[in-house]
Amino acid sequence: MNELLVKLSECIEFGKINMASPYPPQMKGQEGADEITRRALEEGVPPQDILTNGLMPGMERIGVKFRENKVFVPQVLMSAKAMSTAMLHLKPHFLSGAAKQKGTFIIGTVLGDLHDIGKNLVGMMVEGNGYKVIDLGTDVGSEKFIEAVKQNPEAVVGLSALLTTTMVSMEKITKEIKDALPGTLVTIGGAPVNNDFCTKIGADNYSPDPQGVVEYLNSKIA
Amino acid sequence: MIHTVSYSFSELTLDRNYLSAMLGFPDGVLPEPFDQYVAEAIQEAESLCEIRGAFCFPEKSEFIAKNSCISVDGIEFGIGKTVAKELRNSTSVALFICTAGEGISRRSRELLAGKNPVLGYILDTLGSMIVETATDQLQKEIMRIALSQGFSITNRYSPGYCKWSVGDQHKLFSFFPPNCCGISLTDSALMHPIKSVSGMIGLGKEVKFREYTCDLCSQVECFHKNYMKRSGIQSAV
């Protein structure tokens, strides 16, 4: 594989944003995701290869480490920042069709809940694994989810909740999405929910961590 | 009568080990560069926070045991079995609200959405810690008043926890003037600013404060529960 892409995947895994970034300490003074992505494009590496063989493997590795409690939220955010910096170079190629994302993921924190860090983390990981992410924000009701799915009929919906009190809202939204658009897949996550709750409310998947969402999407879309 | 308090950032004693645990680093050691981020966040928080609280001692509290409810000045709170059990020997209650202010949440949101998500996340976490630490201070003030009248206090309990409906926030806030301490409620009973705490504390001659209350909560994946376990603070009841 192209050596640049190997380096790029390491930048994503370890959260090396650019040359000026002091993190991680062992990569101080080295090029980061920003410079390497730009250089790869200049050297003619196809944008799709950069996404598939550079960015995605790095994001997958950090996702697995997070699941295994080998790294924590701040480190994942560093990786996500490195990823989004690289994606800025790739965005024009997505628009032109030179690179394609795997599918679309619509995510939001359910009505009545204003917490968004977990949701954002999932969104970043999913985007870093090659999906287009539509983030509807917090305190989102079923109408907004349904409208977004109508505009993106193949999309999978992700519902997030932090409060036990908003699990009721999650149940209602899942039911209303399924009633309005029966084929839509709904995956849920958040501190108070679990697999039993997922089954009870008729959602299609529960993931305790962002990598689980990526794996679910890969199994259903990619 | 509404008692109001305000705290400057420097009046709060923040436990750095606990903050590390909140950020996910269980052994309290923050690797480079997160230690610098925390220092930066603490420096920023000092000017961002507007820490205020209020509490009151309603005149008449009465338990309605069969429904796990408590009636406070004629307003019925459905506190649920768990909280009712903890408050059962109380002869009266204190109600409180406390906030770290909107500034820290606003700044955190900006950073999370933009150029520095790590600093944004640390500020968000720090905001949670600040409001809880400030509420500890407020609770001490309630305890001081209670002790002066010969009463002890229970732990504090909040709507939304231990199956106490978050909808009761509206009832709790009815004991305070509108927008008291700058806190308002959304239609779904969430507090704004988000870094706010509200709740109830039992008072009485036969009540006890417990060091460990994680046994009341069924949540399995909880950093606080894990932190208490690692610190050797566990249930003795």
Identify the domain boundary among A63, A79, A96: A96
* Residues of A (33-52) whose Cβ lies below 8 Å from B: none
Residues ≥6 apart with Cβ < 8 Å to A87: A55, A127, A128
Give the pLDDT score at B237: 31
**Full domain range(s) for residue A160:** 104-220
- Answer yes or no: do A124 and A73 share one domain: no
Helices (H) and strands (E) in chain B, counts: 7, 10
**What confidence tens digit (pLDDT) does each residue in A25-59 have?**
899 999 999 999 999 999 999 999 999 999 999 99
Identify the domain boundary among A38, A67, A96: A96
Residues of chain A positioned with their CB less than 8 A from the CB of B117: 77, 80-81, 120
**What confidence tens digit (pLDDT) does each residue in B39-98 have?**
999 999 999 999 999 999 998 877 776 678 999 999 999 999 889 988 888 999 999 999
- Answer yes or no: do A157 and A60 share one domain: no
- Answer yes or no: do A54 and A143 share one domain: no
- Answer yes or no: do A83 and A132 share one domain: no
Do the chains contact at B25 and A72, CB–CB below 8 Å? yes
Report ipTM for this prediction.
Answer: 0.81
Give how many domains chain A has, as a whole number: 2
- Answer yes or no: do A66 and A117 share one domain: no
Widest Cα–Cα separation across chain B: 55
Which residue do the tokens 């994302």 mark?
A: A101
CA distance A180 to A172: 12
Question: Which alpha helices (DSSP H) does B24-116 contain, by range?
Answer: 34-48, 80-87, 103-113
Task: Check residues A178 and B164 and name the one with the higher pLDDT.
Answer: A178
Residues of chain A positioned with their CB less than 8 A from the CB of B124: 117
From B23-32, B78-87, B155-164, the region with the lowest mean pLDDT: B23-32
- Domains plus CATH for chain B? 2-210 (3.40.109.40)
Check if the beta carbon of residue B41 is closer than 8 Å to that of residue B33.
no
CA distances from B20 to A73, B107, B133, B234 (A): 11, 20, 15, 20
CA distance A174 to A189: 12
Query: How far apart are the CA of A1 and the nearest CA of chain B, in angstroms?
Result: 31
Q: In a 3-state reduction of DSSP, which class is residue B141?
A: helix
Task: Check residues A192 and B125 and name the one with the higher pLDDT.
Answer: B125
- Answer yes or no: do A122 and A207 share one domain: yes
- Answer yes or no: do A70 and A129 share one domain: no
Question: What is the distance, to the nearest Å, from the Cα of residue B30 to the centroid of all Cα atoms in its chain?
Answer: 25
- Answer yes or no: do A111 and A40 share one domain: no
Task: Check residues A186 and B219 and name the one with the higher pLDDT.
Answer: A186
- Answer yes or no: do A110 and A208 share one domain: yes
> Nearest to residue A91, comparing CAs of A101, A81, A106, A82?
A101
- Answer yes or no: do A215 and A144 share one domain: yes
Give the pLDDT score at B233: 58
